[in-house]
Amino acid sequence: MSNRLQVSLSRQQRQGQTVVAIRFSRHAEANRAVRSLAGCKWSKTLQSWYIPDEQQSIAAAIQALSPLGFVDYRSLRLSDQGQPAATPANEAQITQHLTAFRQFLTSRRYSANTVKTYTDALSVFIRFMANKAPAQWGLPDIQHFNNEYILKNGHSVSYQNQMVNAIKLFLRVTENRHIKIEDIHRPRPEHRLPNVLSKEEVKAILQAHSNIKHKTMLSLIYACGLRCGELLSLTPKSVDSHRNLLLIKNAKGKKDRIAPLSEKMIALLRDYYIAYKPKHYLFEGQQPGTTYDSRSLQQVLKQALAKAGIQKPATLHWLRHSYATHLLEAGTNLRYIQEILGHKSPKTTQIYTRM
């Protein structure tokens, strides 16, 4: 614990108002975390960051900083009147609930991303609920959370749905209580068009890098419509050069699928393999046997965009969207595209018909 970040939260007076000061030693990640908090500012007088003395602000701060180290908020437990303040419940109880929930998700073989997303979501809600035990949670609490935390902080529709799903699953598992979806205030579904690059823009991006590893990674995402995680999970055995196929194992939804590889893509993969000779993963990080970092891969794309002179805020997923759209424009059957992309429902694939 001594090597980890130590953070303290305490109530302070600033210009006649009560605020919550956030203090920690110099730490770059912690600075980035607090800057992202709504209403967080730096005070020269207090020599610390501070946030409004509000339940949702405190919960958001603890949620953002807890992954980086120990957050001490014991001084917030009592209000000025000596009554329990609207602050998170006992940390030991929170840890117990989160550990049990994480173990359940892991035992059910949920993906690592889903485990983290649901556990983080539950952590925010537990702390928002302060000293109210899960056995006392009800629909009014979830609706209050939607209004006072999610909407006030401008969180997305997908974030709101993740929260509802996590809370619903937690109550079913730990309290044997089933919450009716129709009784929860869920957001109306958004119908957004996928972000798509033109064929010329994709070509410029794929030709931007001289580094063969960077070129191969970006090219393979577009050539097979891969998700970022799918690319990074590939092994050398995933490439079947005799059949010109890419074998994508344990993709989203625990499904395997295959995608066709062109002769040009096979040739690029051969040149890359000769140059780098990967062992465990097809695209390894700096240490042999470790997977390439997803953030580094996003930087590879950003560098390609800059070199190509493309101003659009493209992400790696844009390449997947572009692949599907270009196939559809070429007259490819929608069912075929659905299989290549690994969509469970044809409705997901049909969004490309609106482009």
Q: How far is C-alpha 139 from the geometric centre of its chain's CA atoms?
A: 26
- 343 in active site: yes
Integer Cα distance of 145 and 163 in angstroms: 10
Question: Which candidate in 252, 273, 276, 307 is catalytic?
Answer: 252
Integer Cα distance of 233 and 280 in angstroms: 10
Same fold, 5-76 and 199-354: no
Name every residue whose Cβ is closer than 8 Å to that of residue 329 and which is 6 or more positions away in sequence.
none
Q: Tell me phi and psi for residue 84, to 5 degrees.
A: -55, 125
Domain boundaries, the chain: 5-76, 91-183, 199-354
Integer Cα distance of 49 and 57 in angstroms: 13
Pairing mode of beta strands 17-24, 48-52: antiparallel
Integer Cα distance of 44 and 300 in angstroms: 38
Q: Tell me phi and psi for residue 50, to 5 degrees.
A: -145, 155
Q: Tell me phi and psi for residue 244, to 5 degrees.
A: 55, 50
Please report the pLDDT score of residue 213 as a whole number. 96
Contact 204, 310 (CB under 8 A): yes
Regions of the chain where pLDDT drops below 50: 1-3, 78-89
Phi-psi region of 154 (alpha: psi -120 to 50; beta: other; left: phi over 0): left
Please report the pLDDT score of residue 189 as a whole number. 55
Contact 165, 122 (CB under 8 A): no
Question: Which candidate in 97, 215, 320, 326 is catalytic?
Answer: 320
Contact 76, 11 (CB under 8 A): yes
pLDDT digits (tens, 9 = 90+) for 161-210: 888 889 889 988 887 777 665 556 555 555 567 788 999 999 999 999 99
- 227 in active site: yes
**Cα 116–Cα 106–Cα 113 angle in degrees, nearest 5:** 30
Integer Cα distance of 313 and 195 in angstroms: 10
Integer Cα distance of 236 and 282 in angstroms: 5
Question: Which candidate in 97, 127, 209, 343 is catalytic?
Answer: 343
Contact 104, 122 (CB under 8 A): no
C-alpha distance from residue 81 to each of 77, 85, 92, 162, 315 (Å): 11, 9, 25, 36, 50
* CATH code assigned to 199-354: 1.10.443.10
Contact 293, 314 (CB under 8 A): no
Integer Cα distance of 56 and 239 in angstroms: 48
- 27 in active site: no
Please report the pLDDT score of residue 286 as a whole number. 86
Q: How far is the first Cα of the chain from the last one, in angstroms, to the nearest whole number?
A: 52
pLDDT digits (tens, 9 = 90+) for 236-289: 999 999 999 999 987 776 788 999 999 999 999 999 999 999 989 999 998 888
In CATH terms, 5-76 corresponds, of 2.60.40, 3.40.1170, 3.40.50, 3.90.25, to: 3.40.1170
72 closest CA partner among 80, 81, 61, 82 = 61
The model carries a pTM of 0.59
Integer Cα distance of 319 and 346 in angstroms: 20
- 352 in active site: yes
269 closest CA partner among 227, 296, 234 = 234
Contact 71, 9 (CB under 8 A): yes
Contact 151, 103 (CB under 8 A): no
Please report the pLDDT score of residue 82 as a whole number. 34
Tokens of 337: 């595209």
- 222 in active site: no
Question: Which candidate in 11, 27, 307, 317 is catalytic?
Answer: 317
In CATH terms, 91-183 corresponds, of 3.40.50.1220, 1.10.150.130, 1.10.10.10, 2.40.30.10, to: 1.10.150.130
Tokens of 254: 């625990």
Question: Which candidate in 77, 102, 116, 227 is catalytic?
Answer: 227
